[in-house]
Structure 1
Amino acid sequence: MKPVEAVRHTLVSLREMLLSAGPIALLAIGVLVLAYWWLDPNPPKHVVLATGPARSAYDEFGQRYQRALAAYGIEVELLPSQGSSDNLQLLREGRADLGFVQDGVSERQPGEQEDGLVTLGSMFLEPLWLFYREDVYPDEVVRRPSTRQLGSLTQLQGLAINVGNTGTGGPVLMNKLFQANKVDTSKMQLTRLEETPATVSLLDGTVDAVVFASAPESVMVQMLLATPGVKLMDFSQSEAYSRRFPFLSPVVLPRGVVDLAADDPPQDVRLVATTAQLLAREGTHPALLQLFAQAARDIHGPAGWFNRAGAFPTIQRGEYPVAREAERIYRVGQPFLQQWLPFWMANLVERMWVVLGILIAVLLPLTRIVPPLYEFRIRSRVFRWYGHLRDLERELEAHPERAADVLRELDALDERVGHISVPLSHADELYDLRNNINRVRRKVRPETRQAEPDEKALAR
């Protein structure tokens, strides 16, 4: 057989196989397209993260997340705000997808659920920093002028204090603490300036003390810790505060942690701290939550001033339900496929594997009909002419006088059959048809019985 003929027969066989398996393939493609549309496995390329004021800890952490997700082609838009309370409102209104929110800023009652929000966990501690100028307190306020140190919120009566800007968690938190200490705020001069103006006011004497509820990464916190004449209040009742308020924890600023060479601070300072959570709207794409949780482990996992390595992020405590994606990342780490495949591919397989499994389980039994269907298609190209051949034979028997017309039609049928292409594995059926045409032809011309060779013999 010539190479061209062999290729032609091979192509015929492949074409018929593809046409036989076509319906099943189209069904599989349709199911995959529908599942892709329904599951929406690939995340959007843009996400909004509510942070906080410029140069705040929230702003600093937001920039770290921005750089981390840029590696996956995700643009993180940082939405500045006044702080935790603002971020909570932005999330509720749908203007932000994720945001940093301090524990204790919500006005919900204990046990009351916040609809539409989930947490990726507690990310870092936010101590309550109460800075004051040690030279402003009269003897009747500071009972021991030689030490000139504050240790209780009750000692703030009659002073000018900045409790934090509206929109941050500071005013809400301080209001709760003032009430617990039975402090009459009407006898205090309370202001609500942002961190930078508040710091300037403290240094120029406009206010006597400032309160920041922030991580130590805050630029203003670090500056005031190193400023001569500015003291940090020691919360001597830190353990009691943690018992009264579940969202507070007693922490210690270790001696020398700010500056080991200068031994700053010169002794341990007791503080109370809340934790900052990374909240997300429930409609945020699961793959984005997974990426943020992975970034959180790298950003907040190292040791800090108030925690050892690996202490954060944590999902052991919190006011909001934990996102399943975050819980899985913290429990088992980075997904296995992402260690070997690009993120988009690993995420696609991970989101679609259930559908792929179901599809395989359904389609495997269906593939059993492909071989019989293939056989039927090939054989039907030959067998469909037997009906015409039978009609010609019956016409010959019924009307012998029309033998010449029948003979012409047999010759035409033989020519058409000669142009049929079938795989070599079914060539015997084609030659059987041509032999049967010859048998009918010999009824018209008996003398051809010996003259015309058998088609199969010719093939051999």
Structure 2
Amino acid sequence: MSKILKFTQFSLRDLFASTLPTVLLIVGVCLLAYWLVDPAPPRTVRLGTGQENSAYEEFGKKYAAMLAKHGVTVTLVPSAGSGENLHNLRDGKVDIAFVQSGSTNEETADREELTSLGSLFVEPLWLFLREPKDKKPITQLSQLRGMKINFGPKGAGAPRLLHQVLELNGLETGDVQRLSLANTPAVVELLEGRIDGLVFTSAPEAPLIQMLLQTPGIQLFDFTQAEAYARKLPFLTHVTLPQGIVDLGRDIPAREYSLIAPTATLVAREDMHPALIDLFVQGASSIHNGAGWFQQQGQFPSAKYTEIPVDAEAAKFYKNGPPLLQRYMPFWAANFLDRMWVVMLALSALILPLSKIVPPLYVWRIRSRVYKWYGQLRTVEQKVEEAPEGARMQVYEEQLRRLDEIEELVNQISIPLSFADGLYGLRSHIQFVRKRIQFLMAEGAEALPV
């Protein structure tokens, strides 16, 4: 029974061997396309942040933690601020960075092959001053004449912005004693009384901002003309620091303040992989989407408030949300299918013609088990025909034994029932050759003398 089943069953081994070349061809094309059509996104990315204890540094850590969930390592590259981040982007030292609006323009960004991933949050210009000894508050920037003010280090966004603001107030470069300390040392100098004031451009989440807003003897400058500044410098917006927002119980601040604020944007190099752009924009949507001191729920991230053209992938996200596949699949799986859909479409057109090769190959493999024995059978016939006259009987006997061997091996062949006609045909032909040899032997025996 087991032999019958083996004889009649469908030959999976032959089917596998027949389909293997086609499968290997398709897999080979897929692998080639995987590397050539659109390279896989890198597993590491360099993010330009800011100074120690700055909002850029804090948000950079959040992006690193979020992208780590998707297997992407974010290396944080500290800097003096927005200006240095732009230089690092141009020099290829970072792939993406936080940049303050007003730091560049569309023409320059296009020339330097930079693209925006959208604006993230407003970062007001915080001007902190020591309270004057006469307790008379400073209400006009012209009152800063002769004071020691820390503008921030070279490469930060604050020096450039404050310089523009002071120019609007008629203050020349030498009218204010300008220092270029980093944020943390500048705060120490201010608290020790060795400088009169310092300026930040930062989100309120920065630890130094939080501390200075609650430090006695330190006053925040109120930009009462904020709306006029916003009209004069279009990249600025007028924002309000509400009374009590820092600490309602202690009523800090004790009144409302008007501030001027550029926006923080994510700026990337144009050659950054689209999949990484998607990840960063999704991260921005999660990190910056909530309500804050100066923004409403859902106001950020946004394709607005940036002078650098927004990347096409980012603009698509702001319009339609995350890509369809990434809503239901892990990032790397969705990214693979998104990159390979063109190849899969082309392969689907090839599968039909390629599949037509499989049945003939399968048939050939089955029939070849039978056909190869016809060569052996033909060899037997040739030896019979070429047998020398004096040794014919010996050759006939040898070839009969060879036929017995062939028949025994043929009887061990296992092929599907639908191909049995070929096997039975071979066996009948073996019998035909045997009878012919036996006939020749009988004829030769009669010819021998008695």
Question: If the length of structure 2 is used for normalisation, what is the TM-score?
Answer: 0.86
Equivalent-residue separation in structure 1 for 2:274 and 2:229 (angstroms): 37
* 1:129 has 2:126 as partner: yes
* 1:6 has 2:5 as partner: yes
SS state at 2:356 partner? helix
Deviation sequence 1:268-316 (CA, Å, 0-9, x none) = 3221111111222334333333222222111111111000111111112
Which of residues 117, 121, 126 is equivalent to 1:120? Answer: 117
CA shift for structure 1 position 92: 2.0
- What's 2:422 paired with? 429
Greater mean deviation of Cα atoms: 73-82 or 38-47: 38-47
Please say if residues 136 and 208 of structure 1, whose CA atoms lie closer than 8 Å, have aligned partners that are also in contact.
no
* 1:51 has 2:65 as partner: no
CA shift for structure 1 position 40: 6.2
- What's 1:359 paired with? 347
Please say if residues 6 and 414 of structure 2, whose CA atoms lie closer than 8 Å, have aligned partners that are also in contact.
no
Aligned length: 436
CA shift for structure 1 position 31: 0.9
Greater mean deviation of Cα atoms: 244-253 or 391-400: 391-400
Equivalent-residue separation in structure 2 for 1:39 and 1:154 (angstroms): 60
Equivalent-residue separation in structure 2 for 1:398 and 1:307 (angstroms): 103
Call closer, same or farther: CA 1:101–1:309 in 2, change over 3 Å.
same
Call closer, same or farther: CA 1:400–1:417 in 2, change over 3 Å.
farther
- For structure 2, list consecutive stretches of 5 or more residues without a partner in the other structure: 441-450
The one-letter code sitting in structure 2 at the alignment partner of 1:421 is: S
CA shift for structure 1 position 340: 4.2
CA shift for structure 1 position 230: 2.5
Deviation sequence 1:349-394 (CA, Å, 0-9, x none) = 3332332222222223211221122112222332354466568779
- What's 2:446 paired with? none
Greater mean deviation of Cα atoms: 179-188 or 292-301: 179-188
The one-letter code sitting in structure 2 at the alignment partner of 1:441 is: R
Which of residues 226, 244, 247 is equivalent to 1:238? Answer: 226
SS state at 2:284 partner? helix
Deviation sequence 1:3-24 (CA, Å, 0-9, x none) = x66357658x222212221221
Call closer, same or farther: CA 1:88–1:27 in 2, change over 3 Å.
same
**CA root-mean-square deviation:** 3.1
- What's 2:188 paired with? 200
Alignment of 1:245-256 (within 5 A): 245-256=233-244
Alignment of 1:254-265 (within 5 A): 254-265=242-253
Equivalent-residue separation in structure 2 for 1:209 and 1:54 (angstroms): 19
The one-letter code sitting in structure 1 at the alignment partner of 2:281 is: A
The one-letter code sitting in structure 2 at the alignment partner of 1:240 is: A
- What's 1:168 paired with? 156
CA shift for structure 1 position 155: 3.3
- What's 1:26 paired with? 24
Alignment of 1:441-452 (within 5 A): 441-445=434-438
Question: If the length of structure 1 is used for normalisation, what is the TM-score?
Answer: 0.84
Greater mean deviation of Cα atoms: 298-307 or 236-245: 236-245
- What's 2:199 paired with? 211
Greater mean deviation of Cα atoms: 160-169 or 43-52: 43-52
- What's 1:454 paired with? none
The one-letter code sitting in structure 2 at the alignment partner of 1:70 is: A
The one-letter code sitting in structure 1 at the alignment partner of 2:432 is: R
SS state at 1:251 partner? strand
SS state at 1:207 partner? coil
- For structure 1, list consecutive stretches of 5 or more residues without a partner in the other structure: 139-144, 448-460
CA shift for structure 1 position 222: 1.6
SS state at 1:24 partner? helix
